[in-house]
Amino acid sequence: MGFGAEFYKGIFKENPSFRLVLGICPTLAVTTSVENAIGMGLAATFVLLGSNIFIALLRNFIPDKVRIPSFIVIISTFVTITDLVMAAYAPDLHNALGIFIPLIVVNCIIMGRAEAFASKSSTGASIADAFGMGTGFTLALILIGSSRELIGNGTLLGFPILFSSFKPAVIMILPPGAFLTMGLLLGLFNYISRKRSS
Amino acid sequence: MEQLFIIFFSVVVINNFILAKFLGLCPFFGVSRELKSATSMGLAVIFVMTIASIVTWFINRYVLIAYQVEFLQTIVFILVIAALVQLVELFIAKTSPMLQRVLGIYLPLITTNCAVLGVCLLNIKDDYNLIETIIHGLGAGLGFTLAICIMAGIRERLSVCRVPPSMQGFPLSFVIGCLMALSFFGFQGFFTH
């Protein structure tokens, strides 16, 4: 498989949020607005990229028995870097995302890619895979975030979009709205892929 | 005493870890197919959360703050939790075959459960003392168990119903999650402060 294919598979066919249903905690928690969604997506992509590169480079040196703890150390190093950089340069976003930044450590997407892909593949393929999965994750977050922000607040990226007599359904930016949006979007994705395969 | 009760009640129902804070969703959707396994998972989480809260509280106080290396929090906590889970697993296997049968396969899964790391980070963030930390950890575990058991009960009933093929499995579970979150939302006005 070429690098292009490794990249594209993360966007629809193996989209981490909608097809594999991994890393749902941040997907639901931070998507109250598009801005938070983009911030979370970029942070996770950076960690994924860093950990995939390092794990792919070290894959022949890490003994099989201690691979999981080693992966955790590599991943949490990158999470700490992200956490500190964000706190310094984007304090508002850092506040909005709260404990979900340190929690990227236990995001199943990153551990899953390390275990299933980076520990078995070349560095180049791992980079393509990380970019694909990261983009897929970011796009999924943006999709959920924009539907929630649009219906729940009537805005996109903070700009009012809908006509002024629109009464926002606040429930969409509260926790129940997250579950509902995710459930309906997952149903839609299932429907599309069933249609495609038949 | 009142403060402790508020912490406990608020973490069990008002700010339920799953339904209001979105922590620990993977096991919530993954292990809620039947009530029996959901209960075991819940027990394992209560157990690990309480112990992890206590241990990380001491580590934060006497290692991280004492040596001024708070920036290592994430790395240290996740490694401590991973080691702790292994230790608990070994201990249970040696001492209680009964618990081992109930919790067995669920313990290793807990290492990557974000609710456990989440509760430890929140304890530090909210500046709880040792007693509050224990109550918070225990309450978070109980809230998790409550939510996952309700979910499993509903899904057991639903397994015999006919649902649209595209909504089967995850999508329907999320919609149920929405309805549960909505009903738990009713507790929101409980304490006014």
The three-point CA angle A10-A13-A19 to 5° equals 90
Stretch 126-185 of chain B: residues touching chain A, C-beta under 8 Å: 164-168, 170-175, 177-179, 181-182, 185
> Taking CA atoms, what residue in A is nearest to B124?
A99
Produce one character per residue of B9-48: b if its CB has 16 or more CB atoms within 10 Å, e if not: bbbbbbbbbbbbbbbbbbbbbbbbbebebbebbbbbbbbb
Give the closest of B121, B164, B182 to A102, CB-based. Answer: B121
Residues in chain A whose Cβ is within 8 Å of chain B: 21-22, 24-26, 28-29, 68-69, 72-73, 76-77, 79-80, 83-84, 99, 102-103, 105-108, 111, 171, 174-180, 182-184, 186-188, 190-191, 194
More confident residue, A127 or B41: A127
Give the closest of A24, A105, A194 to B25, CB-based. Answer: A24
Residue type, B110: I
More confident residue, B98 or B19: B19
Q: What is the pLDDT of residues A36-81, one digit of tens each?
A: 999 999 999 999 999 999 999 998 998 888 888 889 899 999 999 9
Q: Say yes or no for a CB contact (<8 Å) between A106 and B175.
A: no
> Would you say residue B90 has pLDDT above 90?
no
Give the three-class secondary structure for A159.
strand
- ipTM for the whole complex: 0.87
CA–CA separation, A180 vs A188, rounded Å?
A: 12
Domain borders along chain A are: 3-197
Q: What is the pLDDT of residues B35-54, one digit of tens each?
A: 888 888 888 889 889 999 99
- pLDDT band, residue B189 (cuts 50/70/90): confident
> Would you say residue B141 has pLDDT above 80?
yes
- pLDDT band, residue B104 (cuts 50/70/90): low
- pLDDT band, residue B192 (cuts 50/70/90): low
Query: pLDDT exceeding 90 applies to what percent of chain B?
Result: 36
How many beta-carbon contacts under 8 Å exist across A and B? 117
